[in-house]
A and B are shown apart, each in its own frame.
Chain A
Amino acid sequence: MAIETISLSGKKKEVSNKKMNFWESLYLIAIFKGLMITIKHLFKRKVTIKYPEQTRSLSPVYRGQHTLMRDDEGRERCTACGLCALSCPAEAITMKAAERKPEEKHLYREEKYAEIYEINMLRCIFCGLCEEACPKQAIYLTKSRTMVKAQTDREDFIYGKDKLVMPLDMAIKNTQNQAAN
């Protein structure tokens, strides 16, 4: 077989420039064929997801809003080591560390914790490198199952601990689930 006629994909089509005869030049048959194709689509299932009422399910590896995790006892895992901020290619993370007081043992897992922890969601590119860098498994992009919402004010995109730390009831539920298993 000559090399020009080989079609690996099976979709190759010879282009021909042959003259159309009278009936072909009326395009009627071609148009009729086209009409039959489109009418089939009229009865096909529509693929649209009606957004506010229906939402697309998230894949298990999606990357959305960050969550600062709590451990089994509901204590914050983050130790404010700053590795996430260091690894962040977009420089989106800042934090301020503080020392844990003896009476705060139930709140923070490590002796040092993040007093302030902020992510600028306008800078963040959701690459997930912070998650990879964290030695304490304290930050995840896959746990919140929400996207960062649109805002009208730049300030509103700076998410502090109030938005990032995993809610307590979610932590309690997680622990219960674990105990059940």
Chain B
Amino acid sequence: MEEAIIIEKSVIIIAVFALTMLMAMYSTLAERKIAAWLQDRVGPNRAGKGGILQPLADGLKLFAKEEFVPNTPNKFLFFVGPAISMSMALMTSAVLPWGDKLHLFGRDIILQATDIDVALLYVFGVLSVSVYGIMIGGWASNNKFSLMSAMRAASQMISYEVAMGLSIIALIMMTGTLSIREIALGQNGMNWNVFYQPVGFLIFLICSFAEANRTPFDLAECEAELIGGYHTEYSSMKMGFYLFAEYAAMFISSTILAVLYFGAYNYPGMDWAEKNWGVNIANVIGIFVLFIKICFFIFFYMWVRWTIPRFRYDQLMRLGWKALIPLSIANIIITGIVMLLVD
């Protein structure tokens, strides 16, 4: 029994890891393709059919680049930076449910690496640590622009984490649990949280843009003022790690959005499918449904990126502190009142 669990969990972990890597890889291609399409261009289409091998070509190119280390007193930290970014981006996926359960070999397999009861807190913890990757990298680069970018990233993360945490409180009040699996199960059918918490969803969405360092909140790497931001001094695969981590983080945060607010793997008629076609088929469809939702959010990230310009720093702070935080507090209060009234 014990061994079965170990095997089962390892398979899930490896599958999730591979999936994250694959998605991050192809997000880079998708980003360029979507950017091109939104600008009436064609995008990369030379490597393989329709540019399908482009990510491989990019990776190969990054490997072949010179490994440059600046003259910095903190060589160790310089190497640790990208590693933290990458591992933090991957760690979040441990608590995310990819489906309800499969019934294989006479046992129920829960499609989740681990189901801890404070999963949401874990997610927030990991998210806050991920800024250290940028901060340490920027600090160790021994470069003004990198440092400035690191400071911006840090202040941005701290500001938006508050609003993000507050927006999620309303959700926790409603669902009464911190376990992501239970939140996902609670959204059975069309009971998606987004319909009960539209404002909370909006705030969470905006904040996850800020947390993932995506436009319009990509002040940490704004090319116009800071050269490349925190990865100015990085080259070769270390730079690749930073870029890759950004896309992995985007995939993960799309998953969080889909799981928390858009009904996770639930789809209308899932119960019916489970009754008529069996648990396995119903859940395999569920995994695909979740996947479609994730892809939609990744597309949304890119769509926004190629629509709006970057915020100015003061606009960013004003939006975070003066608009989003009051709004999320109001959301908590209203949620509380409505819950009392319904009771």
Residues in chain A within 8 A of chain B (CB atoms)? 22, 25-28, 31, 34-35, 37-39, 41-42, 44-48, 50
Contact = CB atoms under 8 A, between A and B. Distances in A.
Contacts of A44: 40
A76 to B, nearest CB: 43
A6 to B, nearest CB: 32
Contact of B318 (A25, A28, A34): A25
Contacts of A22: 323
Interface stretch (B168-176, B258-266, B301-309): B301-309
14 contacts: A25-B318, A25-B322, A26-B323, A27-B308, A28-B202, A31-B304, A34-B308, A38-B303, A41-B37, A41-B38, A44-B40, A46-B37, A46-B41, A48-B41
Contacts of B155: none
B303 to A, nearest CB: 6
Contact of B307 (A25, A28, A38, A46): A38
A32 to B, nearest CB: 10
B304 A35 contact: yes
Interface string B33-72: 0100111111001000000000000000000000000000
A45 B39 CA distance: 11
A34 B40 contact: no
B319 interface: yes
Contacts of B202: 28
Interface string B185-205: 000000000000000001000
B40 A26 contact: no
A41 B323 contact: no
Report, nearest first, the 10 A-B pairs whose CB atoms are least far apart.
A48-B42, A38-B307, A34-B307, A38-B38, A42-B37, A46-B42, A41-B38, A35-B307, A26-B323, A47-B40
Q: Chain B contact residues: over half helix, strand or loop, or mixed? A: helix
Given A31-B304, A35-B303, 4 more contacts: A37-B307, A39-B38, A45-B40, A46-B40
A25 B38 CA distance: 26
Interface string B281-318: 00000000000000000000001101110000000001
B38 A42 contact: yes
A35 B40 CA distance: 15
A44 to B, nearest CB: 6
A144 to B, nearest CB: 29
Interface of B: 34, 37-42, 45, 202, 303-304, 306-308, 318-319, 322-323, 327
A38 B306 contact: yes
Contacts of B34: 42
A56 to B, nearest CB: 15
Contacts of B39: 41
B295 to A, nearest CB: 15
Contacts of B306: 38
Contacts of B45: 50
A31 B42 contact: no
A25 B323 contact: yes
A28 B307 CA distance: 13
A31 B307 contact: yes
B42 A25 contact: no
A117 B40 CA distance: 46
Contacts of A34: 307-308
A35 to B, nearest CB: 5
A26 B308 CA distance: 13
Contacts of B304: 31, 35
B204 to A, nearest CB: 14
Nearest to A32: B307
A41 B318 CA distance: 31
B144 to A, nearest CB: 31
A127 B185 CA distance: 74
Contacts of B38: 38-39, 41-42
Nearest to B34: A42
Contacts of A26: 319, 323, 327
Contacts of B41: 46-48
Contacts of B322: 25
Contacts of B308: 27, 31, 34
Nearest to A47: B40
B307 to A, nearest CB: 4
Nearest to A26: B323
Contacts of B323: 22, 25-26
B200 to A, nearest CB: 15
B319 A25 contact: yes
A48 B306 CA distance: 19
Contacts of A28: 202
B42 to A, nearest CB: 4
A18 B303 CA distance: 29
